[in-house]
Amino acid sequence: MSASEPVVHVALLPSAGMGHLNPCLRLAAVFLRYGCKVTLITPRPTVSIAESNLISRFCSFFPHQVTQIDFNLIPLDPTTVAPNIDPFYLQFQTIRHSIHLLYPILSSLTTPLSAFIYNVSLISAVVTISEKLFCPSYIYFPTAARMFSFTAYVSVLADSDPAAQPHPSAFIGDAVQIPGFTSPIPRSSVPTAFLLQGSNSFQRMIMEDSRKLTKLDGVFINSFEELEGEALAALNEGKVVRGLPPVYGIGPLMPCEFENVDQGQKGGMSWVLEWLDEQAEGSVVYVSLGSRTETRKEQIKDMALGLIECGYSFLWVVKLKRVDREEEEGLEDVLGSELMSKVREKGVIVKEFVDQMKILGHPAVGGFVSHGGWNSITETVWEGVPILTWPQHGDQKMTAEAIRMSGVGIWADEWGWGTEKVVKGKEIAKKIKEMMSNESLRVKAGEMKEAAKKACVVGGSCEVIIKRLIEEWKKNAQVT
């Protein structure tokens, strides 16, 4: 950017959880790549140490281009907090509760803002503040365009049946047919927190935010046309909600260098990569059900039995504790020494951090059993690895639907949510075999990999969108 051109200054406000933070920082890195100045407003305290560490690495990696400002949150009155509330939902509420502190932070920035981008969970709280800034405001949506379509359309459903409020479960019915979509979203795929009888904080947040979407200047989604063409087209052609702002498919947002862990953790990964080096091409099943919640002890034994029975070598990342808790039981205490010995004969178990992209990109990995978190999905698409999704909570059934429709993965929808029932080892083994032996799945995953890389190269869809926006912001700065 030449000295005579206006400085493009983008501020970003993330929310809670690595699944929300990662795409925010990756999006920030894209703007930095094109010469923008970035201010990162970070809510404190974070839910997990992992979030805090990632923010520190990001700011350290871009010491001159990024200004980091702490957004110190006001704790909620503990008497108003529901017992056993999800720590991430609690953080959403706490940020919204503290949002009046945001305007003084943003209005005090010395360089005028060109754009303000914040997390989808904060829309109704932030929109009035962003309007005072007299600069374009956007949200970043950290999951699939299919899920965003539901989020946008749900207020239309509610307004068509006012008597059904405040019980969203009443107006959703057996399925939701979103305009512009060939297949409906079944009730069973809607996040369970949304269907709970009676009004709750999650329902209120979704309904409030859905109605405010038309006040935004745009939406950034970590997706691209070849992966979710139908959903992106329906959103941008005004079929889903009239007056919806542009939805920018700027994906896939891939891990950046700032995400690398320190040398000690890299050293811990070396033995995993050495083990993979010894395996035949496409012969290993990689299993990871996400970093947010622990794997249920009732399910772990059958998971182990299924991995043993499937006949393939496996790399199994096991999480035995919640993200906001320290206690953890040993895996051998859960499986027993005899079963643990059989597991070690067929594969390896990792309980520490892994560099997922290095694993997915290794030629020995032939399939991924995933919870369906959208960051993991896009990383898998980038590497061209077939996917078996096993949704655990939240948006993950809708991401599983998107992946099945794209042809790069399969989904055992009869398993339900991962927290609802114990899936037997024989069923797990059968589905893994189906994934690993499906040649058409492998071919489609390879084609999607090429499409993903094309979207990110010079002249690709991501660059075209970002450059166009930067030029618009420059013009706005010159006018004002």
pTM for the structure as a whole: 0.91
Bridge-partner residues for 43, per DSSP?
Answer: 71
Q: Which position has the higher pLDDT, 202 or 383?
A: 383
Candidates 3.40.50.2000, 3.40.50.300, 3.40.640.10, 1.10.10.10; CATH matching 9-256+457-479: 3.40.50.2000
pLDDT of amino acid 324: 44
Neighbours of 350 (CB within 10 A): 18
Q: What is the largest CA-CA distance in the chain?
A: 73
Q: Which two tokens stand for residue 17?
A: 């959880």
What are the start-end ranges of the H helices in 161-200?
Answer: 168-172, 192-195
- pLDDT per residue over 396-433, tens digit each? 999 999 999 999 999 999 999 988 889 999 999 999 99
- Please name the helix (run of DSSP H) or strand (run of DSSP E) that holds residue 321, with its range, or none: none
pLDDT, tens digit, for every residue of 318-344?
876 554 454 455 777 778 888 889 989
Instruction: Please say whether the structural domain 262-453 has been given the CATH code 3.40.50.11030.
Output: no
The structure tokens 């951090």 sit at 353
Q: Are 308 and 275 in contact (CB under 8 A)?
A: no
pLDDT of residue 269 exceeding 80, the answer is: no
Q: Cα angle at 118 between 117 and 124, to 5 degrees?
A: 120
* Nearest in space to 38 (alpha carbons), one of 57, 64, 14, 15: 64
CA 123 from chain centre, in angstroms, equals 17
> Which pLDDT does position 448 carry in this prediction?
97
Under DSSP, the state recorded for 213 is G
Residue 413 region by backbone torsions, left for phi larger than 0, else alpha for psi between -120 and 50, else beta: alpha
- Which single residue is written with the structure tokens 């904060």? 122
pLDDT in tens, 210-250: 999 999 999 999 999 999 999 999 999 999 999 999 999 99
pLDDT at 348: 92
Distance CA 204, CA 165 (A): 10
Task: Identify the pLDDT of residue 320.
Answer: 66
- Edge-to-edge, what's the strand order for the sheet holding 347-350? 347-350, 313-317, 284-288, 365-370, 387-389, 409-411
Cα angle 336, 338, 341; round to 5: 105
With residues binned 3-state (H G I as helix, E B as strand, rest as coil), the percentages for the chain, rounded to 5, are 50, 15, 35
**Numbers of helices and strands, H then E, in the chain:** 20, 15
Going from the C-alpha of 44 to that of each of 40, 95, 176, 252, the distances in angstroms are 12, 9, 37, 28
User: Residue 254: left if φ>0, alpha if ψ -120 to 50, beta else—which one?
Assistant: beta
> Looking at the chain, which residues constitute the CATH 3.40.50.2000 domain(s)?
9-256+457-479, 262-453
pLDDT tens readout for residues 40-69: 999 999 988 889 999 999 999 999 899 999
